[in-house]
Structure 1
Amino acid sequence: GMETLGCEKRPSRLVELQACAAVGQSRLMALYEKFFAAHDLHAAQVLLTHTDLQDHDRHLNARNTIMALLDRGVVPVINQNDAVTFNELTVGDNDKLSALVAALLPANLLVQLTAADGLIRNFGKSNACVIPTVRKIDDAIRRLALGTQSATSIGGMASKVDAAQIAGRAGIPMVIANGVKRGQLTKVLAGEKVGTFFTPSGDKLKGRKRWIAFFHHPQGSIVVDDGAKAALREHGKSLLKMGIVSCEGEFAATDVVRICDRNGTGFAQGITRHARAEIDNGSAGKVVVHRDDLVIL
């Protein structure tokens, strides 16, 4: 869209970005249809907003639509609906969107193709090398991924590492490989060691818990004491009113909230049965977040 509209660099105004997206979507799909037709395949466009993923009925409908396309041998080309999204409706960049779609299905593997050979250690130096496997995403890994944004795209290696963390928490491994080189995807699917492989950090969550964990912006947070934290993390219990220290932000009953320890570190997410006002004034019932509506992050 930028090239068609004569933009030399990425526009800063939202309306200009949306105009580029509207032009670019049709041109992109024409190219996909042309290339897939050479292999007797069809492509289908699926445009998503954050609301499509957060609303439970629309979430399930999006999943069912994508699965129906796959069942019929059609290749879904999934993108954020950039022509209409703004602020709270945005999913983020396409790296994050791919991880969310992988969790939505759920997929067995997420592959992100880029211009780099993978996550690089000592980037730009004579001893630069690809990190073959990442088993834990920590501060050292994040430092390696910084500083790779271009003037024409959102993201870079840092956003791909963020996506790997989302996928990993959903129990899905991810590979970053060089999409410029021919045959890379074939090698990945054949199980060859290509690029950087991120191991999953947990088991695959069931559908409802995936929806709670990955497809909501928490409306507020609940701070709990050490006893409640242990009960939730180690024993799979529900969050009881007696374990709550304080609340932050405004939230209503049935909103998704982040659950934090006394240091402010979020370790769980769940659907609250009570509004903040009820918790603050003591009128909330015994159970604030039931274990069936709670996910440890």
Structure 2
Amino acid sequence: SLLAKGVVPIVNENDAVSYTELKFGDNDWLASLVACLLPADLLIILTTVDGLVENFGKKNPRTISVVEKIDANIQKLAGGTLSATAVGGMDAKIRAASMTARTGIPLVIASGKKKRAIANVVDGREEGTFFVPRAGKLKGRKRWIAFFHHPKGALWVDDGARNALRDKGKSLLPPGVSQCVGEFSKGDVVRICDLQGTEFSRGISRYDADEIRARKLKGVEIIHRDDLVIL
């Protein structure tokens, strides 16, 4: 209703009135959550540098204009630019970009010190670093599973289960679970990790952690594919 009346809401993680309510960690993450919740057509994050910078703090720095995929190399670049903002640094902005990319929302990191930076982005001019979204947007329920719940535990799965979930769109079956970590109940969101502990998916468990650890479940789906999101 505020938007319909031409009001521009201001959402800030650093609440000056109440500190005991929900705390998200940084405004970059909060901005990406709001963008995904709407869902927005575009998210612009302004900072003190021109974007994601290669050779940051060294000779011949270069702003990367387009990032098509956030991989280990991109994350490594972000790790060297922690001074980009007071809280979280560039690493937090890359984490935000990972979320928006997964939900099909483009994101731009640009300098808040440059005049017309926002106008240039909106007009389609090259400005800062543009993060290309993945094809296909996550539907509302899938976004909720992936980003709007704090996972209560984790399920480590073997390579066969990982491939079945990630590449074939299958449900998670009991034989594929190699380890159950933490305490959670039926209906809780849990992380799904490979054998190295790297999270690649999240889903809603149909069973309690103790039931899964007992290894007596047969012919059932621990997490149905409709309740599972590949990150």
What's the TM-score once normalised by structure 2's chain length?
Answer: 0.90
Are the counterparts in 2 of residues 274 and 284 from structure 1 also a CA contact under 8 Å? no
Relative distance call for 1:243 and 1:142 in structure 2 (3 A) is closer
Secondary structure of the residue aligned to 1:185 is helix
1:173-210 per-residue CA deviation (whole Å, 9 max, x = no partner) reads 11111122221111110101111111113421000000
Secondary structure of the residue aligned to 2:11 is strand
Residue 196 (str. 1) matches residue 196 (str. 2): no
Q: Equivalent of 1:146, from 61, 66, 79?
A: 79
1:20-76 per-residue CA deviation (whole Å, 9 max, x = no partner) reads xxxxxxxxxxxxxxxxxxxxxxxxxxxxxxxxxxxxxxxxxxxxxxxx322332111
Relative distance call for 1:236 and 1:201 in structure 2 (3 A) is same
Counterpart of 2:223 in structure 1 is 289
Q: Equivalent of 1:249, from 176, 182, 194?
A: 182
What's the TM-score once normalised by structure 1's chain length?
Answer: 0.71
Counterpart of 1:29 in structure 2 is none
Q: Pick 1 or 2: higher relative contact order, CA cutoff 8 A, min separation 6.
A: 2
Output the amino acid matched with 1:72: K
Secondary structure of the residue aligned to 1:292 is helix
Whole-angstrom distance in 2 between the partners of 1:190 and 1:169: 24
Counterpart of 1:227 in structure 2 is 160
Whole-angstrom distance in 1 between the partners of 2:122 and 2:187: 41
Q: Could you say which structure has the higher helix fraction? A: 1
Secondary structure of the residue aligned to 1:96 is helix
Are the counterparts in 1 of residues 43 and 105 from structure 2 also a CA contact under 8 Å? yes
Are the counterparts in 2 of residues 219 and 256 from structure 1 also a CA contact under 8 Å? yes
CA RMSD of aligned residues (A): 2.2
Counterpart of 1:186 in structure 2 is 119
Relative distance call for 1:151 and 1:229 in structure 2 (3 A) is closer
Secondary structure of the residue aligned to 1:112 is strand
Q: Equivalent of 1:269, from 194, 197, 202?
A: 202
Counterpart of 2:65 in structure 1 is 132
Whole-angstrom distance in 2 between the partners of 1:120 and 1:242: 45
1:252-280 per-residue CA deviation (whole Å, 9 max, x = no partner) reads 11110011222222211001011011112
1:1-297 mapped onto 2 (5 Å cutoff): 68-80=1-13, 82=15, 83-85=17-19, 89-149=22-82, 153-282=86-215, 284=217, 286-297=220-231
Are the counterparts in 2 of residues 221 and 249 from structure 1 also a CA contact under 8 Å? yes
Output the amino acid matched with 1:291: R
Whole-angstrom distance in 1 between the partners of 2:77 and 2:213: 43
Larger mean CA deviation between 148-157 and 100-109 belongs to: 148-157
Shift of 1:120: 1.6
Relative distance call for 1:74 and 1:220 in structure 2 (3 A) is same
Are the counterparts in 2 of residues 117 and 177 from structure 1 also a CA contact under 8 Å? yes
Structure 2 unmatched runs, 5+? none
Larger mean CA deviation between 112-121 and 139-148 belongs to: 139-148
Shift of 1:100: 1.1
Whole-angstrom distance in 2 between the partners of 1:292 and 1:203: 16
Shift of 1:151: 11
Shift of 1:167: 1.2
Whole-angstrom distance in 1 between the partners of 2:10 and 2:217: 45
Relative distance call for 1:277 and 1:157 in structure 2 (3 A) is same
Secondary structure of the residue aligned to 2:151 is coil
Counterpart of 1:15 in structure 2 is none
Secondary structure of the residue aligned to 2:206 is coil
